[in-house]
Chains A and B, each alone.
Chain A
């Protein structure tokens, strides 16, 4: 099973970057994605983040998210088209589809993709200790920085545990069926043990963090110095910002 949002070993340009620069980059992408409603700009930004991932050696991790993001994006567009009617009518049938609704739905989906890709780049190329160190440097309280660490740690745990539970229930002859109805029927037998077991593990993780002295040990000292890769990212983000401003002024 391929885990999502997990660090991948490597020595690419993103791995060599200072985590603070990457956090700033992700913040900038999120802000630009929220501020812009221009599908062309958002598509360009998503492509730029994807290209950066490929150059940084984690492109496959990003591409693995595409089917899920395509499904979620399609769902967002569908909901928007069904609930919003602005601009020219491009289809007049049982459902009225407007150009404004399609454009807005597309912008929502692309925003989502850009933000998820950018976050994935950050966590796939930054060791958890370095990430916590960077957050501490940015004056994040230790408890919040460690909470972020635990949340990331829990993603593969929940993936693996969820699969085990699904298998255990299948071994008891449980077959919830296909489609949305099946997903709903399958929730309780999987979620109840998943949550109960996760709560049990959370206590041990908390005690382990305390007994290793991580609150004080994961300090700003573990953060890299700034270098050329950081300048390149700052330049790239500045370029995106300039494009955003130009498009805003033009139209």
Chain B
């Protein structure tokens, strides 16, 4: 179904190839998983196999790519390739073009296709009339997958379909892919780590620097670095916090205390309220009921830019904020806004803390995803906050890059900074955090030390009592 022989590809204007000597075969009913660090060439391989490099990119292609029995170059264009291939890109939002989920899936089907059966299969029927951009991350991913599968195309290519999914949603996606494999589809799947897809893959290929490499390095042992004990009065006090989105509740009477110097991981499924909770910490969201107090400042009474001097929030996607011409100027922007006493020193210290001092003159968007994530941390670090809050800081990163980011966070904690991190990665949470909070349907359901006894909450009163001791 897919046959790649001795493929070498060099992007137009590039001096070195992005892929070198790749051999790959995916037969009907097979799922081949490609893993590797960011920049290894995984996305380029997906685009090569989908015929995109041949028909859209130009560049130098050596070797052969055969799609459903025909050479990629023999197709008349992407419209022609589309009859054989369904593809899911890593950015689900960018693939949602239409105004309802049903219209989105229908747009990829032939006339007369039973849309409702497809929506049912992907558990999207209750959302059929909903605007795609209002769905949760897992629902968006299932919608683009449904559209890719809907036309009955025999080949499916998925570029990091689970990057932003929680374990439960990733498991659901894996189940759907296992069914599609059973139906005889040839599936090429790219992920940074095998995760749940390792269990359904027929073969796993690891790419490194554009070449097929040996097996992945083993996961580091769960050795916890010594942390400074959290001391003193709570730095963050959340009391009876309720937040509504329209008719529904995003947070329901949440109580939480976090002490100075703690490293807290907040986990839970997509839509459980994690991001809503942390957006209250710097005043981006204001409580509908209850109160949030950070470093003695009530978030209802202070603007975001004032709270930002105490609480640095690092967004999930670092590209949301990068706009300067060099990494150094990017970091200086926040330091200047915060009015720190020695901005040059703060910038150097922040860049040094995330190992980017030698890249200070680089255009931020030319940095790798992992480096951009570290730069985003440096941007808030230079403002001298007492608390750093991170929303999924390891999304889209390889285990190695995630480890580097997390080690830096651990060092910051050892310097006395309080760290609050939202993550789907339970292994990382257990390895680095002192305390893990789990959320479900807008409530904290468990709260306890990482690797220790977990305190299960059943009511807000219990939560307040338990949190105050943790």
Contacts and interface: CB of A to CB of B under 8 A. Distances in A.
A214 B104 CA distance: 11
Contact of A211 (B86, B93, B103, B319): B86
A128 to B, nearest CB: 5
A172 B98 contact: no
Contact of A164 (B87, B107, B315): B315
B333 A172 contact: yes
Q: Give the one of B82, B106, B315 with max A CB within 10 A.
A: B82
A188 B107 contact: no
Nearest to B56: A207
B304 interface: yes
Contact of A172 (B82, B100, B334): B334
Nearest to A165: B320
A150 interface: yes
Given A204-B94, A211-B81, A172 B147 contact: no
B436 interface: no
B133 A171 contact: no
B365 interface: yes
A188 B83 CA distance: 43
B72 interface: no
Contacts of B277: none
Nearest to A221: B111
A138 to B, nearest CB: 20
* Interface secondary structure of A, over-half rule: helix
Nearest to A6: B99
Interface stretch (B5-13, B306-314, B397-405): B306-314
A192 interface: yes
A30 to B, nearest CB: 23
A127 B334 CA distance: 43
Given A129-B106, A175-B305, A193 B333 contact: no
Contact of B107 (A201, A204, A212): A212
Contact of A215 (B79, B83, B148): B79
Contacts of B129: 9
Contact of A193 (B78, B95, B107, B321): B321
A218 interface: yes
A136 B275 CA distance: 43
A206 B86 CA distance: 14
Interface residues of A, number: 48
B459 to A, nearest CB: 32
A156 B284 CA distance: 20
B365 A196 contact: yes
A174 B305 contact: yes
Contact of B97 (A128, A193, A216): A128
Contacts of B50: 211
Contact of A9 (B94, B100, B334): B100
B151 A204 contact: no
B300 to A, nearest CB: 16
| Interface hub of B93, B94, B111 (most chain A Cβ within 10 A) | B94
A204 B91 contact: yes
Contacts of A161: 320
Given A196-B323, A196-B365, 16 more contacts: A127-B98, A127-B99, A127-B100, A128-B98, A164-B320, A171-B304, A174-B334, A174-B337, A193-B321, A193-B323, A196-B322, A207-B87, A209-B97, A212-B151, A213-B82, A218-B107
Interface of A: 3, 6-7, 9, 127-129, 149-150, 153, 156-157, 160-161, 164-165, 167-175, 188-189, 192-193, 196-197, 200-201, 204-205, 207-218, 221
21 contacts: A3-B131, A6-B99, A7-B100, A127-B98, A127-B99, A129-B103, A157-B133, A161-B320, A167-B284, A169-B321, A170-B284, A171-B312, A197-B319, A207-B87, A210-B77, A211-B81, A212-B82, A212-B147, A212-B151, A214-B107, A221-B111
